[in-house]
Structure 1
Amino acid sequence: MIRWGMIGCGNIARRFAQGLEHVADATLTAVWNRNTDKADAFAREFGGAVYAELEALLRSDVDAVYIATPHTSHARLAVQALAVGKHVLCEKPAAISVAELDSVLAAAREHGKLFMEAMKPPFYPLYRKLRDHLAADPIGPVGFVRAGFANPGVPADHMLWRPEMAGGSLLDIGIYSAFLAVDWLGPVQEVQVLGRLHGGVDAFASVNVRHEGGIAQLYCGLDLAGSGDALLGAPGGHIVIHEKWWNPVRATIHYADGRKVELDAPMIGSGLNYEAAHFGALIEGGMLESPIVTHAHSRSMLTLIDAARAGLGVVYPFEV
């Protein structure tokens, strides 16, 4: 039984706790949030003992923690948890920069604990089904990825508009597209970006990326509407992962010979149960790194985001 501790009790924490109900051999045993009333309400709904102090939760008998706090605290909390011997599954982005991520990975190596970025898409049944189908009926190596999403409904007082909270679209929405590009095309070689800033954060970004295996066209935004599908192009055809592709449940493969294959794979639970089950299996197997969301994969994603931020001139106040 993997005993989980929850750090943070916002919306994504709720989805993770809902997902744990669908994971065998996993239980939520500890909860912490800066607002104790919020933690109490969370524990009443999902279980677990409430800890008034984070240090007390980390001294408890939890095996792993899920970090579900704002971006700016991810690296610090991950290092703190790893240092006291806890395995860490950290919500995306794993850090706000490659430099921050490297400090986390160094702590994981030093203390011999598992660390993984909670990047959910590759664990969904549809994504796995697509990989399996292409292995059996290939279209050749993917050389082009087009993906993005823009959401004009972000309230003016949301933390994504606040530079001191590492706001902007790139780290929040764009990290998903960065994952897809890296997953199919490999390491980043060159990044070109155009975009708009608002109040010191990226309100919209259009990013062209040269990868080791091809080219990606990515976009993300907080003040425009944009669809959430994705396209993967290869010599023998192309794939459309339908909206919202980061919660993938349906894809269409268009073969160059005229065939069209529809793939459907509904999710169960909240969708975060798949990454939680994978993480638990890694712990049970004594693994220190996921073979699916590798440390190198997370570094490549942030390499892309770092370069895009630099090209737009996005510098957070705490980085000056």
Structure 2
Amino acid sequence: MAPLRVGILGCASIALRKLLPAMAALPRTEIAAVASRDAGKAAETARAYGCRAVEGYAALLELDDVEAVYIPLPNAAHAGWIERALAAGKHVLAEKPLTTSVQRTRELIAAARAAGLVLMENVMFLHHSQHVAVRKLLADGAIGELRAFHAAFAVPARPPGDIRHRAELGGGALLDTGVYPVRAAMSFLGSEIDVVAAVLTRRHGHPVDSAGQALLCTGDGVSASASFGIDHGYRSGYELWGSEGRLVLDHAFTPPADHNPVVRLERRSGVEEIPLPPDDQVANTLTAFASAVRSGRLPDNDDVLRQAVLVDDIRSRARLYVDHATEPVG
């Protein structure tokens, strides 16, 4: 089976650090071209992978030998370039969140389905085997009946001017790190959880939210709390709390390929640490994308749309606090 020829729309950090090296290493994918608004940056990046350099994203979409595109642009730019890529007949892998709007997410999912094209949101942790192991422990009754789910993802502050600090680019903690614990809650509790309450915090003089927490709940009363931030000590993990114990997983969302996961199982009888094999969620994600394209099995993207609805509900329900103890940014 011929490798999927992928064009890259933009030389973002995540593309340079993670996706491009993984694409080059996999037999299922091939980097066909790299586009940037800066011709020099495109040339420098393309040179490292022996592929074509293109000035401007629109020019890349005109290339007949590009079958699919990867879009790592700022959040607010996703929708427009996804739409143009689909119109050009390209399959699309786009960074999360797919768009900053429920309506645009719904429209683009429908457009991809109508065109028979794969549209996939790049939430890579969903493709790591450690979560399958946790799910099996839960199904096997390791902690009894599930009572609550807690997840947190937060990263240290970026320098002034970073896209995460810019409202016009779709920045802020909710869209940057909040998507992870929300999607994890959906994964374990089901997609029909609802937002009960939420808080967002904005640093003084800062145009976007820097932290937040949401409380969600299933129809039968199992709760989920999601904490997130972009001005914190690093944290990436979740726990499932049951009637007879607790499952805890650290490094849940962005583990490197050589990370050795450990699930901690806490019960009245004691604590057991369960080692798991390393896994490469970046490679797994790209393999899943290429397989979907080659097989013609289009993702239904129902969870992507539901995630967009929940994120929008968190934003609309949230009580906003301003942290006046911090200095203005920028």
TM-score, reference length from structure 2: 0.85
Q: Would the aligned equivalents of 1:190 and 1:211 in 2 still touch at CA under 8 Å? A: no
Cross-structure match for 1:197: 202
Specify which of 237, 247, 267 is matched with residue 245 of structure 2.
237
Q: Which moved more, 1:255-264 or 1:60-69?
A: 255-264
The residue number in structure 1 matching 2:285 is: 275
Q: CA deviation at 1:312?
A: 3.7
Q: Deviation at 1:216? A: 1.0
> Secondary structure, in 3 states, of the residue corresponding to 2:240?
strand
For residue 43 of structure 1, what is the aligned residue in structure 2? 46
Structure 2: distance between partners of 1:226 and 1:12? 17
The secondary structure found in structure 2 opposite 1:21 is helix
CA distance in 1, matches of 2:154, 2:286: 27
**CA–CA distance in 2 between the matches of 1:255 and 1:313?**
36
Letter in 1 for 2:278: P
Question: Aligned equivalents of 1:18 and 1:141: distance in 2?
Answer: 42
- Alpha carbons 1:191, 1:304 under 8 Å: kept: no
Q: Which amino acid aligns with 1:195?
A: L
Relative to structure 1, the CA distance from residue 142 to residue 82 in structure 2 (aligned partners, 3 Å threshold; closer, same or farther) is farther
Is the 8 Å Cα contact of residues 264 and 271 (structure 2) preserved in structure 1?
no
Aligned match of 1:72: 76
Q: Distance in 1 between matches of 2:225 and 2:139?
A: 25
Q: Deviations over 1:78-111 (max 9, x none)?
A: 1111122111111111111211211211211221
Determine whether 1:263 maps to 2:275.
Answer: yes
Cα gap change, 1:32 to 1:300, in 2 (>3 Å): same
| Distance change >3 Å, CA 143–CA 37, structure 1 → 2 | farther
For residues 84-233 of structure 1, what are the structure 2 equivalents within 5 Å?
Answer: 84-132=88-136, 134-135=138-139, 138-139=142-143, 142-186=146-190, 187-198=192-203, 199-212=206-219, 214-225=222-233, 227-233=235-241
Task: Quote the offset at 1:9 in angstroms.
Answer: 0.9
- 1-structure distance, mates of 2:60, 2:139: 44
Contact 2:33 2:53 survives alignment (8 Å):
yes
Which of the numbers 48, 52, 57 marks the counterpart of 1:54?
57
2:161 and 2:60 map into 1 onto residues whose CA distance is: 31
Equivalent AA in structure 2 for residue 16 of structure 1: L
**Percent of residue pairs bearing the same amino acid type:** 28
SS at match of 1:224: coil
The equivalent residue for 2:323 is none
Deviations 1:216-270 (A, max 9, x none): 111112333353221122334321111x2102433223356546241322234xx
Task: State the AA in 2 paired with 1:230.
Answer: Y
Partner of 1:6: 8
Task: Please name the residue that 1:18 is paired with.
Answer: 21
Structure 1 residues 295-310: aligned runs within 5 Å: 295-310=301-316
Q: Which residue of structure 2 lines up, in the alignment, with residue 317 of structure 1?
A: none
1:223 is paired with a residue whose SS is coil
Q: Secondary structure at the match of 1:218?
A: strand
Given that 1:239 and 1:253 are in contact with CA atoms closer than 8 Å, whether structure 2 keeps it comes out as: yes
CA distance in structure 2 between the partners assigned to 1:313 and 1:48 by the alignment:
48
TM-aligned CA distance change 1:62 to 1:176, over 3 Å: same
Q: Structure 2 vs 1, CA of residues 181 and 231 (structure 1 numbering), >3 Å: closer, same or farther?
A: same
Unaligned 5+ residue runs, structure 1? 315-320
CA distance in 2: counterparts of 1:85 and 1:132, whole angstroms:
39
Shift of 1:273: 1.3
CA distance in structure 1 between the aligned counterparts of 2:82 and 2:139, rounded to whole angstroms:
36
Is 1:246 aligned to 2:249, yes or no? no
Which is further off, 41-50 or 63-72? 41-50
**For the structure 1 residues 313 and 47, does the alpha-carbon distance in structure 2 shift closer, same or farther, using more than 3 Å as the test?**
farther
Q: Which amino acid aligns with 2:201?
A: R
Q: Name the CA distance, whole Å, in 2 between partners of 1:70 and 1:129.
A: 33
CA shift in 2, pair 1:100/1:142, >3 Å:
farther
Q: CA deviation at 1:306?
A: 0.9
> 1:194 Cα shift?
1.8
Q: Give distance in 1, aligned partners of 2:111 and 2:241.
A: 38
Give the Cα–Cα distance (whole angstroms) in 2 for the partners of residues 25 and 96 of structure 1: 30
Tell me the SS of whatever aligns to 1:12. Answer: helix
Amino acid aligned to 1:300: R
Instruction: State the number of aligned residues.
Output: 307
Following the alignment from structure 1 to structure 2, what is the Cα–Cα distance between the partners of residues 34 and 141?
Answer: 53
